[in-house]
Structure 1
Amino acid sequence: MPARRELTMRQLRQMLRLHHDGVRTREIARTLGVARSTIQDNLKRATAAGLGWPLPADLGDDELERRLFQRPGVGLGQRRRAEPDWAALARELKRPGVTLMVLWEEYRESCPDGYGYSRFCELFRAFERRLSPVMRQHHVAGDKVFVDYSGKKVAIVDAATGEVREAELFVAVLGASNLTWAEATWTQALPDWIGAHVRMFRFIGGVPRLIVPDNLKSGVHKASFYDPEINRSYGAMADHYGIGVLPARPRRPRDKAKVEAGVRLAQTWILGRLRHHTFFSLAECNAAIRTMLDHLNDRPMRKLGISRRDLFERIERDALAPLPDTDWEYAEWRRVRANLDYHVEVDGFYYSVPHALIRVELDVRITTRTIELFHRGRRVAAHQRRWGGARHGTDPDHMPSAHRRYAEWTPERFRRWAAKIGPNTEGLVTAVLANRPHPEQGFRTCLGILRLYRGIDPARAEAISARALDIGALTYKSVASILTHKLDSAAPGTRTPATLFDHQNLRGSRYFN
């Protein structure tokens, strides 16, 4: 180790200057505020090193210190025992279960005369202090991924209108390997926020144990130091991937220093290098970002001497949990109430629920393809989402039995029923349905007519239908009158003349004279 010194380089230069000017050592000591023996000792060192005043113009502080205080045969700061590769140990320390004690034991096995444990830890901490701020925190492989949005945005031009729209930059950094993912999204809203996570997991190819977001509203519904409330859709996405959500403490940026450094690096590597490019679509922008990401992840880190991707492959990929079989599909949750017609309204369309849940509040999960309804955590209905066509989507199993039977009525079904009796009855049913502004308005009439024909001979039913068609009797009461008064016996095409009879209320011919 170098000899101990009590004077700074500036004071040593002042000492040599004063001594050259003939000032006594006692006065020099009083001026510099040190002991006289210290001045005498340093003057001896200067004489032994052949240094006087003025010093050479190109003599720097490092060289001056080396010449005054270096021991013969020993370099400045030179350590006398074999040292391990500190960068390799820093990488190994990120593996699960690896501690400094484990690394020191392995070091002493290969170097029995090496440093003791306390000196080993001291030298390793000194090496860590020389690392970049991104690497100062100790993160175990497969433990955490840090996510955040950059404050800087990417301009995207609409090729048709020339309108410039700014996109957000999402950044994610793995804790142990520093593997970085970034992409542009239109907004920081919940669909874009969760979609960026899904694509991030796909890029990583696995799932770490925890995800550390900022207290963005899309991720954290209510920020809290003790009990943060996670957004329901965000929490469902985390459950799908089997990952825990650990939001950073409010106003504690050091909790996510990893991604803060990653954001700054992404701004330099991505936004800085792409600032002269003009993008005309979000896909084009993300393709350029992906190229910059490949360069960033494949570039060796200055202090560790290994790239982010290589470090990820060596220590972190095997520590990640596997991805689920399918990607998470974004879903929005709402609270709805079932109406009297046992349907709920979602974006202008109506979806049925079991009729027993009328006026009950339900949770609805909305995706681009499905509508799912839950009551007390249990799914009670599922529908394909409607974007056009009929506004009502009704599952027959949700209907009361009476409604279900009515829903099964169709014009074709009534015609089939009537055709089983005969062509005249089928013609009567067709005429009844055609005589209404809407076919549904004739369903009950047809049902009543067909019920009248129960228990009578089909031939007579056909005669009644023919008579009704002949005289235009297209109501239930008219057909029932024909049946009751046995008017079906009259030949088709003839009408029974009204019988004249005397009555006191009838006017005679004299009345009109």
Structure 2
Amino acid sequence: MTDYREILRLYACGISQRSIANSCQCSRNTVSEVISRAKKKGICWSSDSKESDLELQQKLFPEKTVSSPKRKYPDYDYIDQEMKRSGVTLKLLWTEYCEECRMGKELPLMYSQFCYYYQKYSEKKRGTMHIPRKPGEQIEVDWAGKPAYIIDRDTGELIPCYIFVGVLNYSLYAYAEAFLSMNMESWITAHVNMFKYFGGSTKMLIPDNLKTGVERTDWYTPQINRTYHEMSEHYNTAVIPARVSSPKDKPAVEATVGVVSKWITAAIRNEKFFTVEELNKEIDCRLKAFNYNPFQKKEGCRYSVYLEEKPFLQKLPSNPYELAYWKQATVQFNYHISVDKMNYSVPCEYIKQKVEVRLTKSIVEVFYKNMRICSHKRLYGHKGQYSTVEAHMPENHQKYLKWDGTSFIEWAKNIGPSTTITVKSILVNPEKGIFS
């Protein structure tokens, strides 16, 4: 827009029209026309005047301010919600919007303007807020998107290895380790090794909504995997899963995953490894270089900031967490449960009750409504073995076990000497029986 205020001010100061045109970057004809119309309408410059250039334009050139036909603008809140639905495009929404305008006898926006204003709306929604992090507050964890590979010595086949990444939210100090699988055992082992590498744990642990961490995804109350929850209790940390499709909930690990892919996965693409141990040895070497690499926009490196954060980490427990699996079982009429095709006794009062079973490498523990009711040494070997505790049996079953040879002889003595002789002879030679 032409700077009408400045033209009138400079003219009042006695500046020539040529100089005014050069200063205001407009043509001399424009300056001449503004001054001519201002004189006719009795408008002159005043330092007290609060009129804007738009108001001056309406007074000097009323013909330029004739309003053009108004167009109906779409509801961009509605459009934004519709764009989240599968198969919906801006072209489709614009077509529906034009049809709605025609039905209401209103003028729609052209498609280019429709897209332009939606882009401006989206930019406002994408605004981000910097949240300062506290040392020792959070660790963010995830699997890297691209795997590394090891080579099978016999077949030459490439076997994918999945890289676990953990990042301290404050210092951005990172940990990485490769595994042959992304199952529960790998997931828990990675966390145990990560806590050891960091030398402590944090108040919060932020994983993704993957199955090994979260059994049931929910916006407000996701259900944490039982084993994962038990591990978090062991390290005195709270598992707070990131929301579905919300990478900004864990920005540190999302950014580090990309950098790790460049620093490690891409860097070793031409190297050959035959075991996971060899691969992890190389990853550890490159991870150290990554953590010691200086920051580009601030002083220090990840390791130097980690040294500041380390005193704020929570102390690790005396023993690392032992991986445990949880299963459900029903107590059968023989007061045993069957787990991994082995049988373990349970107190007989729990017959036909559903119980939860915790299995480690060495122990089997049975819980009923979160109360531990028994434990056994875990059985290995041929299937179908039984581990039975006498105290778990009904009273009459316990009495049956007590009826051995000594018990029969004691019973016979209470009847008479002849009965005692007969019972002893049966016990010595049971095949002959009473009538032999």
User: Shorter-chain TM-score: which interval?
Assistant: 0.5 to 0.7
RMSD: 3.3
Residue of structure 2 equivalent to 1:344: 337
Alignment counterpart, residue 435 of structure 2, candidates 478, 482, 494 = 478
Within a 5 Å distance, the mapping from 1:47-58 to structure 2 comes to none
C-alpha contact (below 8 Å) 1:334/1:365 kept by paired residues: yes
Q: Deviations over 1:167-217 (max 9, x none)?
A: 111101111111100001122222211211111111111111111111111
Residue of structure 1 equivalent to 2:313: 320
C-alpha contact (below 8 Å) 1:222/1:229 kept by paired residues: yes
Residue of structure 1 equivalent to 2:264: 270
Which protein is bigger by CA-based radius of gyration? 1
> How far apart are residue 222 of structure 1 and its match?
2.0
Q: Which amino acid aligns with 2:432?
A: L
> How far apart are residue 327 of structure 1 and its match?
1.1
The whole-number CA distance in structure 2 between the counterparts of 1:341 and 1:349 is 14
Residue of structure 1 equivalent to 2:347: 354
Q: Which amino acid aligns with 2:144?
A: S
The whole-number CA distance in structure 2 between the counterparts of 1:261 and 1:359 is 51
Alignment counterpart, residue 207 of structure 1, candidates 197, 201, 204 = 201
Question: Is 2:144 the counterpart of 1:150?
Answer: yes
Residue of structure 2 equivalent to 1:39: none
Q: Deviations over 1:85-137 (max 9, x none)?
A: xxxxxxxxxxxxxxxxxxxxxxxxxxxxxxxxxxxxxxxxxxxxxxxxxx965
The whole-number CA distance in structure 2 between the counterparts of 1:275 and 1:196 is 23
The whole-number CA distance in structure 2 between the counterparts of 1:373 and 1:163 is 43
The whole-number CA distance in structure 1 between the counterparts of 2:266 and 2:423 is 91
> How far apart are residue 138 of structure 1 and its match?
2.2
Q: Which amino acid aligns with 1:478?
A: F
Residue of structure 1 equivalent to 2:186: 192
Within a 5 Å distance, the mapping from 1:70-81 to structure 2 comes to none
The verdict on how the C-alpha distance between 1:308 and 1:465 changes in structure 2, with shifts beyond 3 A counting, is same
The verdict on how the C-alpha distance between 1:313 and 1:458 changes in structure 2, with shifts beyond 3 A counting, is farther
Question: Is 2:321 the counterpart of 1:364?
Answer: no
The whole-number CA distance in structure 1 between the counterparts of 2:420 and 2:399 is 29
The verdict on how the C-alpha distance between 1:349 and 1:269 changes in structure 2, with shifts beyond 3 A counting, is same
C-alpha contact (below 8 Å) 1:369/1:385 kept by paired residues: yes
The verdict on how the C-alpha distance between 1:473 and 1:220 changes in structure 2, with shifts beyond 3 A counting, is closer
> How far apart are residue 362 of structure 1 and its match?
0.5
C-alpha contact (below 8 Å) 1:350/1:392 kept by paired residues: yes
The whole-number CA distance in structure 1 between the counterparts of 2:348 and 2:282 is 53
The verdict on how the C-alpha distance between 1:462 and 1:203 changes in structure 2, with shifts beyond 3 A counting, is same
The whole-number CA distance in structure 1 between the counterparts of 2:423 and 2:289 is 90
C-alpha contact (below 8 Å) 1:154/1:167 kept by paired residues: yes
Q: Deviations over 1:458-504 (max 9, x none)?
A: 998289839x96xx9622x426xxxxxxxxxxxxxxxxxxxxxxxxx
C-alpha contact (below 8 Å) 1:453/1:461 kept by paired residues: no
Within a 5 Å distance, the mapping from 1:216-231 to structure 2 comes to 216-231=210-225
Question: Is 2:25 the counterpart of 1:29?
Answer: yes
Residue of structure 2 equivalent to 1:183: 177
Alignment counterpart, residue 425 of structure 2, candidates 458, 465, 486 = 465
> How far apart are residue 30 of structure 1 and its match?
3.5
**SS class of match (2:145):** strand
C-alpha contact (below 8 Å) 1:363/1:375 kept by paired residues: yes
The whole-number CA distance in structure 2 between the counterparts of 1:370 and 1:378 is 16
Alignment counterpart, residue 402 of structure 1, candidates 396, 401, 411 = 396
Question: Is 2:326 the counterpart of 1:333?
Answer: yes
The whole-number CA distance in structure 2 between the counterparts of 1:176 and 1:462 is 85
Give 5+ residue unaligned stretches, structure 1.
1-5, 7-22, 37-134, 418-446, 480-513
The whole-number CA distance in structure 2 between the counterparts of 1:365 and 1:462 is 51
Residue of structure 2 equivalent to 1:81: none
C-alpha contact (below 8 Å) 2:408/2:423 kept by paired residues: no
The whole-number CA distance in structure 1 between the counterparts of 2:256 and 2:274 is 26
Question: Is 2:164 the counterpart of 1:170?
Answer: yes
Residue of structure 2 equivalent to 1:387: 380
Q: Which amino acid aligns with 2:277?
A: A
Q: Which amino acid aligns with 1:319?
A: F
The whole-number CA distance in structure 1 between the counterparts of 2:366 and 2:422 is 50
C-alpha contact (below 8 Å) 1:349/1:392 kept by paired residues: yes
Alignment counterpart, residue 274 of structure 2, candidates 280, 294, 306 = 280
The verdict on how the C-alpha distance between 1:377 and 1:474 changes in structure 2, with shifts beyond 3 A counting, is same
The whole-number CA distance in structure 1 between the counterparts of 2:169 and 2:295 is 15
Residue of structure 1 equivalent to 2:57: none
Residue of structure 2 equivalent to 1:239: 233
> How far apart are residue 259 of structure 1 and its match?
0.5
Give 5+ residue unaligned stretches, structure 2.
4-17, 33-128
Instruction: Provide TM-score, normalisation by structure 1.
Output: 0.57
The whole-number CA distance in structure 2 between the counterparts of 1:302 and 1:320 is 26
The verdict on how the C-alpha distance between 1:465 and 1:236 changes in structure 2, with shifts beyond 3 A counting, is closer
Q: Which amino acid aligns with 1:360?
A: Q
Q: Which amino acid aligns with 2:421?
A: A
C-alpha contact (below 8 Å) 2:412/2:419 kept by paired residues: no
Within a 5 Å distance, the mapping from 1:467-506 to structure 2 comes to 474-475=432-433, 477-478=434-435
Q: Which amino acid aligns with 2:381?
A: G
Residue of structure 1 equivalent to 2:284: 290
Residue of structure 2 equivalent to 1:60: none
> How far apart are residue 273 of structure 1 and its match?
1.6
